[in-house]
């Protein structure tokens, strides 16, 4: 089994915000889980550097587009590093090898007659540099209220409509191709109407920043045609036998994790492009929901209300932020984002639940047993806890395999809750005086749960869980087999209580 996941490649018009960090963190978490399960993984992210949006952002800064993207791409790379994103490759669409393959694909489609020339009539807004069709106009103006003029322009079109039936059949034959089901139904609704062909050119007189059409140098290609191909070019497609090994190995398992804002481009444009290029389709397109701001609108730069991932990281730490983003949303749904929500969730689940369990057990064990206490399974409640604990890895894996990381974390939270309840009942802090063996048994069990939980949470919080394992005296890297087994901690081994693992977070006043 291999696992290949991609994030959208982000427009480099500004620094990334929480929305961008979300997709990237979830992709990183899923990759780390699959790695933990012993699979071969490949994780791709990057930046979409051509097109009108980037050109306009460069103009606004008074820079040429190349200088602009070279500067801004570093903000993405730096922030991903700070968020402990461990990608295998970071693609930039301005990389020469990518541009070359995009041109090769355009030429191939042109030669096959899949791209044709036609004149395009539409309403053009000079200030927005956008084309509108007659029915998109509102009172003779653009939907944003800008003046428009009728333009007839020669352009190139990809025969997308030709693939409508083939695409419908693929979606019906492969129920997992577009997920969640609600999103699949949206795409099926879109495909219930006849597809049009796709305009894949922009005259350089309007927009020069892009990949030139190899068969007509006075045009650049539409930014989405260039951008979508990144998922294949980044792993070697079209670059000779040696580089294509990676493509051959991973392509059939490709999962495109995207926000629901870009569902049509990924579920209609991209598969039809692939069909025309005779490339097999990826395994899955998974559209997640949005983080909403306080007005319940999508958090986005144009709405103005965005939260910086680094600001959030300063308040709750990188592990806390990664945990919140993975845990709070059922992948596919929307949820509200606010600093207050992050802090209260983390205080409940990390500071109180996990953090307290860790400090109270380790402190008691150090004080009364000088480290890991002897283990036993005399009380039926201990055996019950053990069973719950060793079965958790399997439950986590099932959820990860169906793209439900928040429910996966829920299983670990349930285990920690059960352990806190178990400890409250067995109260080793009381029994330690009259029945030291009983106290040892419950403390040992709680420490084992902590060890297993640390392995199972390590893909979400790599640094903190590594620290937790170290404090429990485990130096080997997290390993799934160890999470399925009870009794790995050695009685008598040293433990480190230290400062609270998850101090209570507070918002700066």
Residue 47: strand, helix, or coil: strand
**Interface with ligand MSP (CB under 6 A), residue from 167, 258, 455, 483:** 258
Residue entry with tokens 């969640």: 180
Nearer to ligand MSP, 23 or 458 (CB): 23
Q: Count CA atoms within 13 Å of residue 246 on its CB side.
A: 19
14 makes contact with ligand MSP (CB under 6 A): no
9 makes contact with ligand MSP (CB under 6 A): yes
Integer Cα distance of 277 and 112 in angstroms:
9
Least CB distance from residue 259 to ligand MSP, whole Å? 3
> How many residues of this chain interact with ligand MSP, rule: CB under 6 A?
21
Nearer to ligand MSP, 258 or 365 (CB): 258
Going through 80-138 in order, the beta strands assigned E by DSSP cover 89-92, 115-125, 130-132
Q: What part of residues 405-444 is at the interface with ligand MSP (CB under 6 A)?
A: none
Least CB distance from residue 305 to ligand MSP, whole Å? 10
Least CB distance from residue 139 to ligand MSP, whole Å? 29
- CB 199, CB 164: distance < 8 Å: no
Q: How far is CA 445 from CA 125, 298, 424, 436, 450, in A?
A: 68, 44, 13, 14, 9
259 makes contact with ligand MSP (CB under 6 A): yes
Q: What part of residues 230-249 is at the interface with ligand MSP (CB under 6 A)?
A: 230
Residue entry with tokens 């795409």: 187
Phi and psi of 145, rounded to 5°? 80, 20
Nearer to ligand MSP, 64 or 261 (CB): 261
11 makes contact with ligand MSP (CB under 6 A): yes
Nearer to ligand MSP, 10 or 43 (CB): 10
178 makes contact with ligand MSP (CB under 6 A): no
Nearer to ligand MSP, 335 or 482 (CB): 335
Nearer to ligand MSP, 99 or 471 (CB): 99
Least CB distance from residue 476 to ligand MSP, whole Å? 35
Residue 211-230 contact track with ligand MSP, rule CB under 6 A, x = bound: ----------------xx-x
- CB 483, CB 319: distance < 8 Å: no
**Among candidates 406, 397, 388, 97, which has minimal Cα distance to 234?**
97
**Among candidates 41, 14, 1, which has minimal Cα distance to 302?**
14
Nearer to ligand MSP, 18 or 362 (CB): 18
Helix, strand, coil share of the chain (percent; to 5): 55, 15, 30
Q: What part of residues 285-314 is at the interface with ligand MSP (CB under 6 A)?
A: 290-291, 298-300
22 makes contact with ligand MSP (CB under 6 A): yes
**Interface with ligand MSP (CB under 6 A), residue from 59, 82, 261, 506:** 261
Q: Find the radius of gyration of the CA atoms of the chain.
A: 27
20 makes contact with ligand MSP (CB under 6 A): yes
Going through 352-483 in order, the beta strands assigned E by DSSP cover none
- CB 77, CB 90: distance < 8 Å: yes
Strands 254-259 and 284-288: parallel
Nearer to ligand MSP, 22 or 222 (CB): 22
Integer Cα distance of 427 and 443 in angstroms:
9
105 makes contact with ligand MSP (CB under 6 A): no
Joined tokens for residue 94: 């301005």
- CB 30, CB 288: distance < 8 Å: no
Residue sitting closest to ligand MSP (CB): 19
Contacting residues toward ligand MSP, per CB under 6 A: 8-11, 19-20, 22-23, 48, 227-228, 230, 258-259, 261-262, 290-291, 298-300
């Amino acid at each position: 089994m291999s696992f290949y996941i991609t994030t959208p490649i982000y427009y480099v018009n500004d620094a990334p915000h929480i929305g961008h960090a979300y997709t990237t963190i979830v992709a990183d978490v899923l990759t780390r889980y699959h790695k933990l399960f012993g699979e071969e993984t490949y994780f791709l992210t990057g930046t979409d550097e051509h097109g009108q949006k980037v050109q306009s952002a460069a103009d606004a800064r008074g820079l040429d587009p190349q200088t602009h993207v070279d500067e801004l791409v570093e903000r993405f790379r730096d922030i991903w590093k700070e968020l402990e994103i461990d990608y295998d490759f970071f693609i930039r669409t301005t990389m020469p090898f990518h541009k070359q393959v995009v041109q090769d694909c355009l030429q191939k489609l042109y030669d096959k007659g899949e791209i044709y020339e036609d004149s395009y009539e539409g309403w053009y807004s000079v200030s927005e540099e956008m084309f509108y069709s007659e029915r998109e106009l509102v009172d003779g103006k653009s939907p944003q209220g800008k003046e428009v003029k009728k333009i007839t322009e020669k352009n190139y079109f990809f025969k997308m409509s030709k693939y409508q039936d083939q695409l419908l059949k693929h979606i019906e034959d492969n129920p997992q191709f577009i997920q969640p089901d609600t999103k699949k139904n949206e795409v099926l609704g879109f495909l219930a109407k006849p597809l049009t062909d796709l305009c894949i050119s922009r005259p350089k007189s309007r927009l020069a920043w892009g990949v030139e059409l190899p068969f007509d140098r006075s045009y650049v290609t539409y930014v989405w045609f260039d951008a979508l191909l990144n998922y294949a070019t980044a792993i070697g497609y079209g670059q000779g036998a040696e580089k294509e090994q990676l493509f051959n190995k991973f392509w059939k398992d490709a999962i495109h994790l995207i926000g629901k804002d870009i569902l049509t481009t990924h579920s209609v444009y991209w598969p039809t492009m692939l069909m025309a290029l005779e490339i097999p389709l990826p395994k899955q397109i998974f559209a997640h929901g949005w983080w909403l701001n306080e007005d319940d609108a999508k958090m986005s730069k144009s709405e103005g209300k965005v939260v910086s991932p680094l600001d959030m990281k300063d308040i709750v730490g990188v592990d806390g932020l990664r945990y919140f983003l993975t845990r709070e949303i059922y992948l596919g749904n929307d949820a509200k984002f606010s600093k207050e929500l992050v802090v209260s969730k983390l205080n409940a689940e990390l500071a109180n639940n996990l953090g307290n369990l860790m400090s109270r057990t380790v402190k008691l064990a150090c004080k009364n047993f000088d480290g890991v206490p002897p283990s036993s399974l005399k009380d039926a409640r201990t055996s019950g806890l053990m069973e719950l604990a060793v079965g958790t890895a399997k439950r986590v894996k099932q959820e990860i395999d169906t793209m439900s990381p928040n429910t996966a974390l829920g299983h670990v939270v349930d285990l920690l809750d059960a352990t806190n309840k178990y400890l409250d009942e067995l109260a080793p802090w009381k029994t330690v005086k009259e029945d030291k063996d009983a106290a040892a048994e419950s403390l040992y069990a709680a420490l084992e749960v902590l060890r297993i939980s640390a392995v199972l949470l390590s893909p979400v919080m790599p640094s903190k869980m590594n620290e937790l394992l170290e404090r429990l005296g485990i130096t080997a890297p997290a390993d799934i087999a160890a999470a399925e087994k009870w009794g790995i901690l050695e009685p008598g081994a040293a433990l480190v209580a230290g400062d609270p693992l998850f101090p209570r977070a507070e918002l700066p006043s």
